[in-house]
């Protein structure tokens, strides 16, 4: 049992000292874990003797005549009671105008200031840009390939995919995060471990589209020796081309050079990013092992190579230029680009270095133990400090949402439960020693609502797994679309009705990038894979196979189709679901996954090229037939 005073102090810092596991059994955090979490959040505690004075100090901090750092005015309604008595009000609108007090009946939508505190005036319901039933496809950009580009996909290949889906009547093209990653030293190509949520990955640049590309040259990525993307080699080849192009631009004047300089002036953070990348390349290691001066952000010209700095500025200009072109092209094709905002960051990336006050030291985000991962999961990225988020006025959150909605009309929030609470694991301890920390979810929902309306974009929450009821209730209340995933929804509890009907406000699909392809799921080869990884023992694997066989049988009877894939596509197509997405790889019964969670070196995650090129997919009668049929199900009147 935890000490009552320790529990009280933990509660005042938003620490949840117990939770219900997947078996509905209570799990209580250890004293050591609670003390470590408190210290990470800034509480002056290192041992139990420190708890009582820390408790008095925290009560003093939270009591008294103080205004909260952030207030939410849902639908513009800010109650006068928000302001403590005896404080002279000063309400300044987002555009700098002073507003009267009491405030008007409805504040204009946006970010205002009340005596220094942030006031987020937001519609209760976020915007969603799709009013009719529609469909789209999912594919990782790195997995795309074509006659012009055989090694790994780029934004030109993604545009080709958008054009094709638009021609077929689809309205959504979804992909994995396109944010910057480490592709040399350090090396981490995974899209969910980005260097930054503010900068994009030049791996996806098509150099040949730039005026700086040498006349008469060709940039055709060589075929991969295997079916896997060789990020390191391909990026090294591309970088040599881009470095030459950067030197060409810097040696000339004219319209392009002026555009480049305007980009730098409009995006001052890009120089900081480029310096960080250039220092990392010289050091060949993450920033946590740099000298104290460099760690604290004091970077001087002698600390990095000037050419490397100019390369990264130029590369960001090109990738953002091509992202803008992609966004325009997507709109012209009648489609919406659907991007994914990762829940985490690389622990030694730019954002964690640049905003060290925002990220908690000594803690890692993960998931509690479950039947599949009995020791829990450690995702190896640092959590944001909920109090620092508030005192900074959510500036970083606003910036990263805007950064994505500049180009995308749909944005998926990875691990949306993290808006409410995150599972922190103390450094060096197993997942069994983790505990949940609460976050200011109302305030982040308000930011999402404001930005969705301003960008005419929709927000989708990834709400899979063990999600508390209040999360889904909040998503529904704020018009954040939820996911409906067939492979998660299937149940043997009701053999005659193994699949509940999707509601209207969902984005529906057979699976996600973290799941086995549909064919693998149906035949149970994913069970064999998890058995080979020792995630399952023989007895558990045998039990899962029997359950899967029963699921497959009941699904066939329910769909009245022998072909489960076509039956499920028709089922989703005829459903009320707002959006139905098809993973392109399911169209040819792929069995190899793009990612196997909780593996790193054991499986080639985030590297597998699609079996077919864009041209081959276009020419496939079978693929065309399935997608056109889905379009007919979605819009039977057309």
**Residue finishing a domain among 557, 579, 601:** 579
pLDDT in tens, 487-545: 999 998 888 899 999 999 999 999 999 999 999 999 999 999 999 998 889 999 999 99
Please provide residue 20's backbone torsions phi and psi, each rounded to the nearest 5 degrees: -95, 130
Residue 226: per-residue pLDDT = 66
Distance CA 24, CA 18 (A): 12
Q: Tell me what the mean pLDDT of segment 459-476 comes to.
A: 94
Across 96-100, 259-263, 580-584, least confident range? 96-100
Q: Tell me what the mean pLDDT of segment 100-125 comes to.
A: 94
> 79: pLDDT confidence band, cut at 50, 70 and 90?
confident
pLDDT in tens, 388-406: 999 999 999 999 999 999 9
Residue 24: per-residue pLDDT = 82
Q: Is the pLDDT of residue 374 over 80?
A: no
Distance CA 34, CA 379 (A): 20
Q: Tell me what the mean pLDDT of segment 587-602 comes to.
A: 93
Please provide residue 178's backbone torsions phi and psi, each rounded to the nearest 5 degrees: -110, 25
User: Within its chain, how far is the Cα of 307 from the centroid?
Assistant: 31
Q: Is the pLDDT of residue 224 over 50?
A: no
Residue 225: per-residue pLDDT = 45
Mean pLDDT for the chain overall = 94
Residue 218 lies in a domain: no
What lies within 8 Å, CB to CB, of 534 at 6+ separation is none
Distance CA 136, CA 168 (A): 10
Number of domains in the chain: 3
What lies within 8 Å, CB to CB, of 134 at 6+ separation is 170, 171, 172, 578, 579, 580, 634, 635
Residue 376: per-residue pLDDT = 82
Whether residue 16 sits in one domain with residue 99: no
Whether residue 89 sits in one domain with residue 48: no
pLDDT in tens, 536-579: 899 999 999 999 999 999 999 999 988 999 999 999 999 999 99
Q: Is the pLDDT of residue 626 over 60?
A: yes
Q: Is the pLDDT of residue 638 over 60?
A: no
Whether residue 36 sits in one domain with residue 10: yes
Q: Is the pLDDT of residue 479 over 90?
A: yes
Whether residue 572 sits in one domain with residue 496: yes
The domain containing residue 117 runs over which residues? 70-122
By CB atoms closer than 10 A (0-12, 13-18, 19+), residue 244 is middle
Contact 153, 229 (CB under 8 A): no
110: which 2 tokens? 């946006």
Whether residue 531 sits in one domain with residue 555: yes
Whether residue 102 sits in one domain with residue 35: no
Please name every residue paired with 421 in a beta bridge, in sequence order, or none if there are none.
Answer: 438
> Residues of 257-272 as b/e, b for ≥16 C-beta within 10 angstroms?
eeebeebeeebeebee
Q: Give the CB-side neighbour count of residue 41, counting CA atoms within 13 A.
A: 24
Whether residue 77 sits in one domain with residue 49: no
**Other Cβ atoms within 10 Å of 630 Cβ, number:** 23
Whether residue 117 sits in one domain with residue 98: yes
Whether residue 523 sits in one domain with residue 493: yes
Residue 403 lies in a domain: no
Contact 366, 379 (CB under 8 A): yes
Q: Is the pLDDT of residue 218 over 80?
A: no
By CB atoms closer than 10 A (0-12, 13-18, 19+), residue 360 is buried
Contact 2, 9 (CB under 8 A): no
Q: Is the pLDDT of residue 371 over 80?
A: no
Sign of CA dihedral 489, 633, 504, 591: positive
Residue 549 lies in a domain: yes
Residue 562 lies in a domain: yes
Residue 151 lies in a domain: no
C-alpha closest to that of 45 among 31, 30, 63: 31
Whether residue 76 sits in one domain with residue 19: no
Side by side, the strands of the sheet bearing 377-378 are 15-16, 435-438, 421-426, 363-367, 377-378
Whether residue 35 sits in one domain with residue 79: no
Distance CA 527, CA 542 (A): 9
Residue 521 lies in a domain: yes
Residue 183 lies in a domain: no
**Residue finishing a domain among 12, 39, 62:** 62
């Amino acid at each position: 049992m935890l000490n009552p005073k320790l529990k009280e102090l933990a509660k005042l810092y938003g620490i949840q000292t117990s939770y219900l596991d997947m078996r509905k059994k209570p799990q209580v955090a250890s004293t050591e874990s609670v003390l470590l979490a408190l210290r990470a959040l800034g509480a002056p505690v290192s041992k139990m003797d420190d708890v009582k004075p820390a408790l008095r100090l925290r009560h003093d901090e939270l009591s008294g005549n103080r205004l909260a750092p952030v207030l939410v005015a849902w639908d513009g309604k800010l109650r006068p009671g928000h302001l403590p008595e005896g404080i002279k009000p000063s309400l300044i609108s987002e555009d700098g105008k002073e507003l009267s007090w009491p405030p008007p009946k409805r504040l204009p939508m946006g970010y205002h200031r009340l005596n220094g505190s942030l006031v987020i005036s937001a519609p209760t319901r976020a915007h969603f840009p799709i009013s009719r039933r529609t469909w789209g496809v999912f594919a990782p950009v790195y997995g795309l390939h074509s006659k012009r580009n055989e090694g790994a996909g780029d934004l030109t290949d993604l545009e080709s995919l958008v054009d094709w889906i638009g021609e077929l009547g689809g309205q959504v093209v979804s992909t994995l995060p396109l944010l910057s990653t480490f592709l040399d030293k350090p090396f981490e190509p995974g899209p969910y471990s980005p260097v930054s949520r503010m900068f994009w990955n030049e791996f996806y640049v098509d150099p040949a589209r730039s005026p700086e590309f040498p006349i008469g040259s060709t940039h055709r990525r060589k075929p991969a020796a295997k079916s896997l993307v060789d990020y390191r080699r391909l990026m090294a080849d591309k970088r040599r081309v881009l470095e030459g192009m950067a030197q060409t631009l810097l040696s000339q004047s004219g319209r392009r050079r002026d555009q480049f300089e305007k980009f730098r002036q409009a995006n001052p953070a890009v120089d900081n990013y480029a310096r960080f990348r250039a220092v990392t390349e010289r050091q060949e290691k993450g920033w946590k092992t740099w000298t104290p001066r460099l760690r604290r952000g004091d970077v001087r010209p002698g600390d990095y190579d000037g050419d490397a700095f100019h390369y990264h500025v130029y590369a960001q200009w090109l990738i953002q230029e091509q992202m803008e072109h992609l966004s325009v092209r997507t709109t012209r094709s009648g489609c919406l680009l659907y991007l994914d905002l990762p829940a985490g960051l690389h622990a030694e990336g730019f954002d964690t270095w640049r905003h060290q006050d925002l990220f908690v030291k000594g803690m890692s985000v993960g998931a509690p133990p479950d039947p599949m991962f009995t020791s829990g999961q450690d995702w190896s990225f640092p959590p944001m400090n909920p109090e620092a988020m508030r005192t900074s006025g959510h500036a970083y959150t606003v910036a990263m949402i805007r950064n994505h909605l500049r180009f995308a009309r749909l944005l998926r929030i990875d691990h949306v439960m993290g808006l409410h609470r995150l599972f922190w694991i103390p450094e060096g301890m197993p997942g069994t020693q983790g505990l949940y920390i609460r976050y200011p979810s109302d305030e982040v929902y308000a930011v999402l609502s404001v930005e969705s309306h301003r960008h005419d974009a929709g927000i989708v929450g990834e709400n899979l797994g063990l999600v508390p009821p209040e999360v889904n209730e909040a998503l529904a209340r704020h018009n954040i679309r939820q996911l409906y995933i067939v492979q998660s929804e299937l149940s043997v509890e009701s053999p005659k009705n193994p699949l509940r009907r999707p509601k209207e406000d969902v984005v529906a699909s057979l699976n996600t990038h973290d799941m086995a392809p549909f064919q693998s799921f149906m035949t149970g080869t994913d069970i064999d894979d998890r058995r080979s990884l020792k995630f399952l023992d023989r007895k558990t694997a045998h039990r899962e196979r029997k359950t899967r066989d029963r699921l497959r049988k009941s699904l066939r009877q329910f769909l009245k189709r022998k072909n489960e894939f076509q039956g499920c596509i028709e089922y989703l197509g005829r459903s009320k679901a707002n959006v139905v997405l098809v993973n392109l790889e399911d169209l040819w019964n792929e069995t190899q996954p793009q990612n196997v969670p909780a593996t790193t070196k054991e499986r080639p995650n985030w590297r597998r090229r699609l079996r077919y090129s864009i041209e081959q997919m276009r020419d496939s009668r079978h693929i065309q037939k399935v997608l056109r049929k889905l379009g007919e199900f979605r819009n039977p009147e057309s």
